[in-house]
Structure 1
Amino acid sequence: MSAAEQQTGARGPTIRERLLQSQEGIVFLLAVVAFLAFSILLPSFLSSGNLLVLVRSVSILGILALGMALVVIARGIDVSMIAVMVVSVSWAFVITRAGYPFELALLIGASFAMLAGIMIGTLIAFGEVPPIFATLAAGSVIYGTGRTFFFTLEMQNVPPDTEWFRLIGQGNVFGIPVTVVAFALLCVVVQLVLRRTRFGWMTYAMGNNPNTARVSGLPTRPMIVAQYASTALIAYVAGLILASSAAAINARLFNSTMIYDILLVVVLGGIGLNGGHGSVRNVILGTVFVGILLNGMTIMNIDYTIQNLVKGVVLLLAIVVDSLVNPRDEQTSQQGDL
């Protein structure tokens, strides 16, 4: 524990910490209110079919948000996640139809995702390109490369004779969807990594003060590469679960607003964009609220453009609140990393 943390513990929670705690409480209350309101106003909201769709979609969104949280805590951001997800999963399916064993194709897809993450992390760590620009450009390059050289059709169906794979997105374990189980397991793994490992400690240290972390001798550049590689691999896992649930992966997701939904989950849940704090609990809170909100608007048959407007307003408000709760320091402003 650092001297600053010891001082904080001695004098009790600061105003900032109280605000963070209240933000979590507000998000939780909003999720409860939204759930109750939709349950009363929309008869089909509590139907078993809709709840099943809700928990599956929430789980996939949550898994992607876990990957985003890893880089945001370290003062980064990754808007290339959807490109990595659709290209790596689609290519794995194409390779399978070309005659390769499905398991080998999945490993190749995972390798591509990790390679993409390593290249992005290297560009940020050693090229010192701001993360928002590096990942924005890399996402377009990855997607364009995939559509040009790996596959031409936007929709890639799950290969036949892969019943075990379909069970991932459509099966149950003791009545609980496998997607929910997978999300829960990943939550446990990420929480343990962040709180119980040197990797997690260094991630928080980098987010709190990158210059101090670097001067202290922490391997910040290899850490950045590892963080983006991990995020890319998590995106690949989320893509596999999504494809298993829908029996296909649609490359059009790259042009959707899914990346903004992920950012909304992270920021709304309480993980500040200036890094240094946040946990899996914040991701779960944000995921539940955003999932309920999106599901309710879909059932209400609200126009897609209006849905985007609502999400945009909520995201903007969440960013404003985050800037007030976690003011940008001089170092962040000079870096221009977000």
Structure 2
Amino acid sequence: MTTIDMHTHYVPRGWPHLQQSAGGGDDWPWLRIESEREATVMIRSQEFRRVQSQCWDADARLADMDADGVDIQAVSPTPVFFSYARPADQALKVARIFNDLALEICAPAPHRFLPFCQVPLQDTDAACAELDRCLAAGHVGVEIGNHVGDRDLDDEGIIAFLQHCAHVGAPVFVHPWDMPSAPRLDRWMAQWLTGMPAETHLSILSLILSGAFDRLPEALQLCFAHGGGSFPFWLGRMDNAWHQRPDVVGTSQRPPSHYVNRFCVDTVVFDERALRLLVETMGAERVMLGSDYPYPLGERPVGNLVRKATFLNEDERRLILGGNAARLLNLQTAVMET
């Protein structure tokens, strides 16, 4: 059984000075190196996230993968680097820097690390061009944030980008980011504990109720992080609203539950009861292993929840641990041979 972790991140051990490379103000992320194994991503003088060598060191990642029984990682950017709020030309320069660094991080084990790129999603043409450049260079897919300012995934420009992803066969990993800040959310990690699930839920709903899924090609391969957020739990409420108030609830041709076969979700839910709901709602063929490695809120050992889940049969377990991701990544042959 090949095990594929669809939700991991990287941070390079340093990058060019972004104000000099891309322009703009002095609030670009930078890395404060503290030792060979530790560093902190900074925004000006504020700490954003402490990171360790697993973020950039292939050997450290491989050691953890071997310890956890993970064969392949999809390696995605850390969303703080997306730069969607900046002018598109600046975001493109930053995307190119980090996309090229991602290839360097993954190069020591190309059959085990599958890099996903980032794009300047605020500019459709630039995003499509950067995706094409990255696919030619060795990336296998793209990670996008779940919104660009007030533009959600049903925005016409983002829909055009998603249509391009379907055309070129690039899987899309959607990660929540840029959660609202408010006094009630700025304590207890509430932005991460409530904001992230809500952001993901909202963006899935935008694709459904706007009618975007009715227009997007079925060939589009979408995977949403963190188990789809709160979407699976509230699917019944959404269906009820669609039936009871069709005058105000969206323009989709069918109720929300009709569209669960149009996207996948990862397993970053941490509890067997939540995983059971996820599988019962989405179907075992639409759920795939994710960990949020190497960050502290991720799962370790990776895949422990799926391997120990008492309600899964072995066929379902095999699909979730690797088979579904292999299909999304077009790795069926390699997985079957393994």
TM-score by length of 1: 0.27
Using CA pairs under 8 Å that are at least 6 residues apart, name the structure with larger relative contact order, 1 or 2: 1
**Whose Rg is larger?**
1
TM-score by length of 2: 0.27
Greater share of helix: 1
